[in-house]
Structure formats: C-alpha cells, structure tokens
Amino acid sequence: MKNSKFSVKHCVILPLLLLVSIVLFAMPTEWFGIQELTVVQQRTIALFVFAACMWILEVVPAWATSIITMVLLIFTVSNGQFAFLRSGENLGTLVSYKDFMAQFASPTIMLFMGGFVLAIAATKVGLDVVLAKVLLAPFGKNPKTVLLGILLVVAVFSMFMSNTATAAMMLAFLAPVLKNLPADGKGRIGLALAIPIGANIGGIGTPIGTPPNVIALGYLKENLGIEIGFGDWCIRMVPFVIVMLLIAWFFLLLFFPFKAKEIKLEINADRKKDFHFWVVAATFVITIVLWLIPEKVTGLNSNEVALIPFAIFVATGVFSKNDFKEINWDVLWMVAGGLALGTALMKTGLAKVLVDTIPFATMPALVVIIVSGIVGYAIANFLSHTSAANLLLPILATVATAVDLGAFGGSAALLIGLAISTSVAMILPISTPPNAIASSTGLVETKDMAKMGVIMGLVGLVIGYAVLILVGF
C-alpha cells in the first residue's frame, strides 16, 4: 500500500503539479486577464498554486513543501534570483532575498521555539503531568468532558493573550494527556485539534483577542467615526464563541471518537521536586503572566516573552544541548515556508492586485458582505490572519462609505465580518500558528485539519454574519 501511495503521489501528482506550475510560470502575463500584472507577480502565482496544492495533497511532508517553496521564491522572485530571470519588460518589484531568509528567525518562529522549550522542560522535570492534572481537575476523567474543557480553557486564554502563545502553552499541558490515550484511537487527534480551534475561535471573543479585531475596530473609529466599546463587543461575540465551541465539540466527537473510557494521569512518586522542577514551575508562571498582561503595560510582546524560558533554562542547566534535539524543527521549517510565501504575496504587490480586481463598489450590499467574507477567509488560510485583515480592511473601509449597508448591519457588519472571516481560517498547518502547533504533536494529518477547518470556517461565516446582520452593533 505504501509503495502504491508513493507511486501515485510522486509519479503522477507531483509531475502534474510541476507541469501546471511551469505553464503558469512561463505563459504571457496578458493571459491571466489581470491588469498591470508583473512578471514577478505571475511567478508568485505559479509558486502559490504549486505550494497550496502540495500542502493540501501532501505529496511530500508539509515541512518539505515549505523548504522547496522558500528556495524557489529566492531563486525566482527575489533580488538574488538567477541573472537570466531579471531581464525583460514589466519585471515588477523584486523582494529582497534577506526577507525570505529572515523567516527562519522571525518573531513567530522564536515564539514557537519558546513554546517548544517550555513543553520540553516541563516534561523533563515532570511538571507537565502536574499542570495537566490541575487544569483538567474541574472536568473529571471522562474524555468527552475533558475535550470540552480544553476547548473552553484554550478559548478563554486566547481572549486575552496571543493565539500562538496560548497554543504554545497548551502544548505543555496536553502532552501527558495525549500520551495516556490509546494509540489506536482517534480521540488523541480530536484533543490535538482542540488547541487551534479553541485558540482561533476564542480570539474572536474580545476586541484584543486577535489582531484582526483591533484592526477592524481601528478602521471603524478612525475612518467611519463608529466606536465600539469592550463590553459591547463581548456581549455579542462571547455567545458566538460559545456556540462555535459547542459545534466544534460535536464534530470533534463525531469524527474522532474516544476509545478510552477515562483519562488517567499518573504522577511518578519517585520523581523528586528538585531545584530544576521549581525553576521550570516559576518560569512557567512568569511567562504566562507576561503573556496575559497587555504589551502596552510591560512593553514586551508575546514573541519577546517567549525568549525568557530559553535564557533561564540554559542559564540554570535545565536545558542541555541534547534537549535541542527534541525541538520540532520540521514544524519550524514548515511555518517559515508559509511565512515566506506570505511575504512574497505582500511585497510583490500580488495580494493587493488580486483584491483590487474585485469590483466591490459596483456590487449590491449583500453581495459585498458575502464576497468580502469569502475572500477574507480564502486569503487568511494562506496569509497570516493579520496580513489578510491589513490587506482587505482599507479597501472595505472605502466601500463602506460608498455602499448603503444599513439593511445588512451597516459598516460594522462589513468590517467586523472580515475580522471574523479571517479568524476562522484554519484549514492547513500553515494557515495559523496554532494549527502548526497541533501539527507538531505528530497526531494530526492535513486531511483531518482540513476537514475540521472547512466545517468551522463555513459555520463561523454563517453564524458570524447572522449575528452581525440580525443583532448588529
């Protein structure tokens, strides 16, 4: 079976994808039907199609696709590309090769590293089991209630701190739970998927839960004179979050039923709570507290805070050079490749060109709202949620002043709807960092993530816009 799978994917699908990508790469720009499309933007389209299909079809592991994509981006759309590719008319803006290489050490990657280090250290000293028992105590030992509890806990944390930081923290909590479930059951997959679902959905609950919320509220206030308070937002969005979590719980149990009747976490009585244990425990508390406190108070963002465990554990001997081997380097490579592709879409101007081709101003009001949600959702699955919001919101803010949206929730429905549509984009491991963290467990396949991602995305769009149109702000 494995040989057959290898044969189909590598001998049929891969050559076909390469052929399609080469055709897109080499065909005249005029054939795309996009005004002012540059050669560099055309090459980005070709690489985007190649990478997206490779990720979705899993022709090779996701991290391998990311590395291939990053190398191809450097050699074809950067200022470090092959010399013969730099000639010709309408070349367009080349991206600095340093911008692509910098993704290997981007702030997002550092946050991932900090999360992995926390999880490894917690497991090493036995703190992970202690934390898991404390966290899950209110939800009993029934796997079904534990799953619901994890969804709720992740969502609550995500309302007040970075989605990525929340997912990184939960990785340490859930590691012993995942280990204690039967390897031949599907329940472990559901628990792993609860991390990104809870984080992505939970962030919608408060104005500060995720950057698209902040960006949307900023445009409403500065461009349209509409100010929405913290409480007004929460009154409408927290119930939405709760309903979405319950729906997620239902589908997770449906697709990934538990084989075990209860979850047992045994603490090794022989393990002593030595100096290293208390160092890790104290660092855990400090890191979480700093993640929870707003950046404007401490001056530190979540990416910077993630470096604190690194420094403390290395300085105190908790983390040795051998422990670095335990870091999920494949996940880091995968995320870096996704970030590099997003960089190409933004810095070549391709993303803006594609969005500008959509005639929002000439559409009926309801169509504007529907199309903006679909476009935001589609783009955010491949760009960061923040980048997607930054790209679309200026356009939609202009549209909001030109189109009468009063019957469909007004301008708030349009802009906040975009924030929701970007936040529920989670079909691929590269769609959002929490997805990548779930992928790092080694339990979640892309098809499982895509299945839940599509369901939660479509349901989120329908319910979210229903709330905005029927209830309004």
- Measured distance CA(125)–CA(123) in Å, rounded: 6
- Whether 91 and 42 have beta carbons less than 8 Å apart is answered as no
**Unique residue bearing structure tokens 């963002």:** 301
- Measured distance CA(287)–CA(289) in Å, rounded: 6
| Mean pLDDT computed over 251-277 | 80
**Unique residue bearing structure tokens 């081997």:** 325
* Each residue's pLDDT tens digit, 59-103: 888 889 999 999 999 999 999 888 888 877 788 889 999 999 998
Select the more confidently predicted residue: 100 or 135: 100
- Measured distance CA(4)–CA(83) in Å, rounded: 40
Cα distances from 371 to residues 407, 418, 431, 439, in angstroms, run 17, 10, 20, 30
Number of CB atoms found within 10 A of residue 8's CB: 12
* Each residue's pLDDT tens digit, 362-381: 888 899 999 999 999 999 99
Measured distance between the N- and C-terminal CA atoms of the chain, rounded to whole angstroms: 55
Nearest CA to 253 out of 201, 186, 196 is that of: 186
∠ CA(285), CA(291), CA(292), 5° rounding?
Answer: 90
- Measured distance CA(263)–CA(284) in Å, rounded: 24
In the chain, what percentage of residues exceed pLDDT 70? 97
Residue 104's Cα: distance from chain center in Å? 17
Confidence of residue 440 (pLDDT cuts 50, 70, 90): confident
Number of CB atoms found within 10 A of residue 31's CB: 11
* Each residue's pLDDT tens digit, 190-234: 999 999 999 999 999 999 888 899 889 988 888 788 888 888 999
Confidence of residue 2 (pLDDT cuts 50, 70, 90): very low
Q: Is the pLDDT of residue 170 over 90?
A: no
- Whether 319 and 121 have beta carbons less than 8 Å apart is answered as yes
- Measured distance CA(173)–CA(130) in Å, rounded: 9
| Mean pLDDT computed over 272-297 | 87
Nearest CA to 134 out of 116, 157, 107, 153 is that of: 153
Nearest CA to 378 out of 391, 362, 365 is that of: 391
Strands (E), 105-213: none
Structure tokens at 15: 């050559």
- Give the per-residue pLDDT at 456: 96
| Mean pLDDT computed over 391-396 | 87
| Mean pLDDT computed over 295-311 | 87
Cα distances from 13 to residues 17, 18, 21, 229, 428, in angstroms, run 6, 9, 12, 51, 19
Q: Is the pLDDT of residue 161 over 90?
A: no
Q: Is the pLDDT of residue 1 over 50?
A: no
Structure tokens at 230: 């913290």
Side-chain-side CA neighbours of residue 411 (13 Å):
24
Q: Is the pLDDT of residue 355 over 70?
A: yes
Per the prediction, the chain carries an average pLDDT of 88
- Measured distance CA(394)–CA(65) in Å, rounded: 32
Select the more confidently predicted residue: 460 or 173: 460
- Whether 426 and 196 have beta carbons less than 8 Å apart is answered as yes
- Give the per-residue pLDDT at 326: 84
Cα distances from 387 to residues 101, 211, 315, 412, 445, in angstroms, run 19, 9, 36, 20, 26
Question: Model's pTM, two decimal places?
Answer: 0.86
